[in-house]
């Protein structure tokens, strides 16, 4: 995240945050039984907020030709599997963990975590990003090896994750207990100050003489977290490497990242048989050349699982460009925040679904993550970064929870598209239809269609399943998730 993001996001999207909504009376957490033959479960959120993840009456699947199809016909080929999905979620920042662990009582905390992470009674968030040390949403600046000015620690003898044990690790352990298969991605905002040209956590770059020590820093982090029962599935080398700020941050151009991976991090992980995925870049859509320049180096590329992107600049199609050049490498969407700069629920619902959830999936992303999973009513606690960002949920002083539009956009994916699902081939509709969609098949055989109506009128469409079909009329300015077997 960065202070300058507000203007960028506003120009990018009109609306990237939300009105907030208390849990509505008509919200039904119990899913329709999709094991019933020829039935399609329907879940809807609309721009007026009269439907917030509302479970509507199921649809009937009929034999093709029984009824006339709608003009907008969606053909889905479930036999053509594309990328495998890792999950959907947000970031459990230091600020979020502090609020959940310290500002909620045990009953409130259990209820919130079940709502966020239980796929049956809640929305089943299946992927979390965590920060390696402090970010702009932490209680203070820190890394895992902080020293007085002038001192160094080449062997990392003073490495410690003690500060994470106050709030972050207890919350992560509770999450793992609810959902043992959840995936975690870790990202550093800064190396220890003594490794940097600036001599401080804010800004500066990594000195080449400390590349080897910094690679070992990653290994120590992975080992320390594993000892706490938290296995890191993937890590990015540096958060927003092209942005240095007043909070913990570190510049790292593509040449430096290539060298660090090729000569230090990659060989060290290989020698220790570390399976944690290494991700490149972790910055905006507007510079896809950064990760591609590293992937073009065969020695570095062998250690890399894929590239990560944020949405504070550029277009989601950049992810597709990287896939076209490097189809054997994964793509990951790892950050965007809502905030007070745009307060229209309907606009934000549509922008998030179009760009972040439907858009990234259709451009080969294996996940989609938002920024802070929880913040307070003052949009904090914050650490010299964005002063008006908002969390997926807002935790109020009395422990009550407000679900923001981001909660519903995640839910339309995370509750229904489970880890291990595959995106499948589906025909795009014309722009004039104002309908956007993406389809998946889960490991249990259940099928999912997520569809967005950008228009101001009801839109009827038909889904063609070969010998069978079904039709549905979606509300204006709405997203629907349809599930069937």
Structure token pair of residue 334: 């790892």
Q: What does the pLDDT look like over 390-405, one tens digit per residue?
A: 999 999 999 999 999 9
Q: Strands 39-46 and 54-60, how do they pair? A: antiparallel
Residue 296 CA to residue 14 CA, distance in Å, equals 35
In terms of residue numbers, what domain contains 319? 5-14+88-419
How confident is the model over 202-214, as pLDDT tens digits?
999 999 999 999 9
Are residues 78 and 102 part of one domain?
Answer: no
Tell me, yes or no, whether 24 lies in a domain.
Answer: no
Q: How much of the chain is helix, strand and coil, in % rounded to 5?
A: 30, 30, 45
Residue that is last in its domain, among 363, 395, 419: 419
Shared-domain flag, residues 229 and 182? yes
DSSP 3-state assignment of 25?
coil
One domain for residues 62 and 97:
no
* 33: confidence class by pLDDT, cuts 50, 70, 90: low
Report the C-alpha gap between 157 and 175 in whole angstroms. 30
Q: Which residue, 80, 29, 70, 86, is CA-closest to 52?
A: 29
Picking from 394, 419, 444, the residue at the C-terminal end of a domain is 419
Please state, in angstroms and rounded to a whole number, the distance separating the CA atoms of residues 464 and 273: 46
332 vs 477: CA distance, rounded Å? 27
Domain-embedded: residue 20: no
- β-strand 54-60 against 62-63: which pairing, if any? unpaired
Question: Which of 385, 419, 453 is where one domain is finished?
Answer: 419
As a whole number of angstroms, the distance between CA 451 and CA 447 comes to 13
Is 26 inside any structural domain? no
Q: Which own/partner pairs from 204-208 qualify as long-range (CB within 8 Å, at least 24 positions apart)?
A: 204/244, 204/250, 204/251, 205/250, 205/251, 205/252, 205/256, 206/250, 206/252, 206/256, 206/260, 208/259
* Tokens 């080897």, residue located: 212
Q: Residue 145: name the closest of 129, 162, 130 by CA.
A: 162
Give pLDDT tens digits for 450-463.
Answer: 999 999 999 999 99
Number of domains in the chain: 2
Q: What is the dihedral of CA 200, 388, 369, 292, to 10 degrees?
A: -50
Among candidate residues 312, 231, 219, 309, the one with its CA nearest the CA of residue 266:
219
Residues 172 and 313 in one domain: yes
pLDDT above 90 coverage of the chain, percent = 91
35 and 117 inside one domain: no
Residues in the chain: 485
Q: Judging by beta carbons within 10 Å of its beta carbon (0-12, 13-18, 19+), is residue 456 exposed, middle or buried? A: exposed
Same domain? For 65 and 156 the reply is no
Q: Which of 392, 484, 463, 479 is nearest to 76 (CA)?
A: 463
Distance CA 30, CA 28 (A): 6
Give the list of residues 6+ apart from residue 432 with CB closer than 8 angstroms, or none: none
Is residue 287 domain-shared with residue 401, that is, in the same domain?
A: yes
d(CA 109, CA 347): 31
Residue whose structure tokens are 């151009």 = 253
Q: What is the pLDDT of residues 83-101, one digit of tens each?
A: 999 999 999 999 999 999 9
Residue-wise pLDDT for 237-246, tens only, equals 999 999 999 9
Dist CA 97 CA 19 (whole Å): 23
Terminal Cα distance for the chain, rounded:
40
φ and ψ at 431, to 5 degrees?
A: -60, -30
Residues 410 and 433 both lie in one domain? no
Token output for 479: 């997203």
Q: Are residues 438 and 412 in the same domain?
A: no
Q: Which domain CATH number covers 55?
A: 2.60.40.1180
122 and 235 in a common domain? yes
Residue 333 backbone phi and psi in degrees, to 5: -105, 125
Q: Is 385 a member of any domain?
A: yes
Q: How far apart are CA 403 and CA 23, in angstroms?
A: 7
Does 328 score more than 70 pLDDT? Answer: yes
Question: According to the model, what pLDDT value does residue 30 have?
Answer: 47
21 assigned to some structural domain: no
Mean model confidence pLDDT for the chain: 93
Are 368 and 276 in the same domain? Answer: yes
pLDDT band, very low/low/confident/very high, at 312 (cuts 50, 70, 90)? very high
Residue 22 lies in a domain: no
Assess contact for 470 and 463: CB atoms under 8 A: yes
| CB distance 325 to 355 below 8 Å | no
Residue 13 has pLDDT above 90, yes or no: no
Residue 113 has pLDDT above 70, yes or no: yes
* 452 found inside a domain: yes
DSSP string, 392-425: SEEE-TTS-EEEEHHHHHHHHHHTTS-TT-EEEE
Answer whether residue 71 is part of any domain. yes
Nearest-angstrom CA–CA distance, 55 and 412: 11
Residues 45 and 150 in one domain: no
Q: How confident is the model at residue 411 (pLDDT cuts 50, 70, 90)?
A: very high
* CATH code of residue 304: 3.20.20.80
The predicted structure's pLDDT at residue 61: 97
Does residue 28 register a pLDDT over 90?
no
């Amino acid at each position: 995240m960065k202070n300058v993001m507000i203007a960028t996001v506003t120009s990018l999207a009109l609306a990237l945050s939300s009105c907030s909504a208390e849990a509505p009376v008509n919200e039904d957490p119990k899913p329709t039984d999709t094991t019933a033959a020829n039935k399609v479960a329907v879940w809807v959120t609309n721009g007026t907020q009269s439907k917030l993840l509302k479970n509507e009456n199921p649809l009937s699947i009929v034999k093709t030709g029984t009824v006339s199809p709608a003009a907008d016909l969606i053909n889905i080929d479930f036999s053509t599997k594309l990328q495998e999905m890792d999950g959907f979620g947000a970031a459990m920042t230091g600020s979020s963990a502090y609020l959940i662990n310290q500002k909620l009582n045990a009953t409130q905390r259990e209820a919130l975590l079940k709502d966020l992470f239980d796929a049956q009674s809640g929305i089943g968030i299946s992927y979390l990003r965590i920060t390696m040390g402090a970010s702009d949403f932490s209680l203070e600046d820190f890394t895992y090896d902080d020293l007085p000015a002038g001192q160094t620690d080449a062997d990392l003898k003073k490495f410690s994750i003690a500060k994470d044990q106050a709030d972050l690790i207890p919350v992560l352990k509770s999450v793992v207990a609810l959902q043992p298969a959840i995936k975690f991605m870790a990202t550093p905002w800064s190396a220890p100050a003594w490794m940097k040209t600036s001599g401080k956590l804010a800004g500066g770059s990594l000195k080449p003489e400390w590349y080897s020590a910094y690679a070992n820093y990653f290994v120590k982090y992975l080992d320390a977290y594993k000892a706490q029962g938290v296995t890191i599935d993937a890590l990015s080398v540096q958060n927003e490497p092209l942005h240095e700020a007043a909070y913990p941050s570190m510049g790292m151009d593509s040449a430096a990242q290539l060298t660090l991976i090729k000569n230090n991090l990659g060989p060290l992980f290989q020698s220790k048989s570390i399976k944690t995925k290494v991700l490149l870049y972790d910055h905006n859509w507007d510079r896809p050349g950064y990760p591609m320049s590293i992937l073009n180096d065969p020695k570095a590329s062998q250690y890399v699982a894929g590239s990560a992107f944020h949405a504070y600049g550029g277009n989601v199609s950049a992810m597709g460009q990287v896939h076209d050049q490097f189809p054997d490498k994964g793509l990951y969407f790892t950050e965007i925040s809502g905030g007070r700069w745009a307060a229209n629920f309907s606009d934000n619902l549509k922008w998030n679904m179009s760009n972040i959830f439907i858009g990234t999936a259709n451009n080969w992303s294996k996940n989609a993550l938002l920024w802070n999973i929880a913040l307070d009513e003052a949009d904090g606690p914050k650490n010299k970064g964005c002063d008006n960002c908002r969390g997926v949920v807002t935790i109020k002083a009395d422990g009550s929870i407000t679900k923001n539009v981001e909660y519903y956009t995640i839910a339309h994916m995370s509750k229904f598209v489970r880890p291990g699902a595959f995106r499948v081939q589906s025909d795009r509709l014309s722009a004039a239809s104002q309908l956007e969609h993406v389809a998946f098949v889960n490991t249990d055989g259940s099928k999912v269609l997520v569809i967005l109506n950008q228009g101001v009128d009801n839109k009827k469409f038909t889904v063609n399943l070969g010998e069978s079909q079904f039709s549905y009329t979606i509300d204006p300015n709405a997203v629907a998730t349809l599930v069937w077997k």
